[in-house]
Amino acid sequence: MLKQNTIAPEIELNDKAGNTVKLSDFRGKKVIVYFYPKDNTPGCTRQAAAFTKIYEEYKALGVELIGISKDSEASHLKFAQKNDLSFILLSDPELKAIKDYDVWQEKKMYGKTSMGVVRTSYLIDENGMIEKVWEKAKPDTNATEILEYLKKLN
């Protein structure tokens, strides 16, 4: 994982509509960048729903939200439509940002070892620095943990 008080690597990926989105486009405002394993899986769907539920509160605090997985743009579009997601989803099939943010790691499940995305959220400040990291984020509580942290700042 990347650590607090380090420069956030630039992200330049396509969203669900095929538009290029850069992290640097959001300089001057805080951005939550959360990495998740896969569209339409139970945990990832619960996490996206939790973020959607309080997305307007993030926006009211001047904070943007970006979700990133290795799924395709088409997969993101279906995931967003099916779950009424209004925040930005970026597609990283080549694992560029996923590796830059050090969330592509060895995982163990049912006694099997494989590589995959470790669910992680980063809060990036107005100047492009990593302000806070939520490692091994829990799908059901991550969104509210971040919101509580943001509210303490204001």
Active site residues: 44
C-alpha dist (Å) from residue 88 to 44, 59, 137: 15, 12, 19
The answer for residues whose C-beta is within 8 angstroms of residue 26's C-beta and 6 or more apart is: 64, 124
Phi then psi dihedrals of residue 146, to 5 deg: -65, -45
Q: In this structure, what token pair is assigned to residue 110?
A: 């049912």
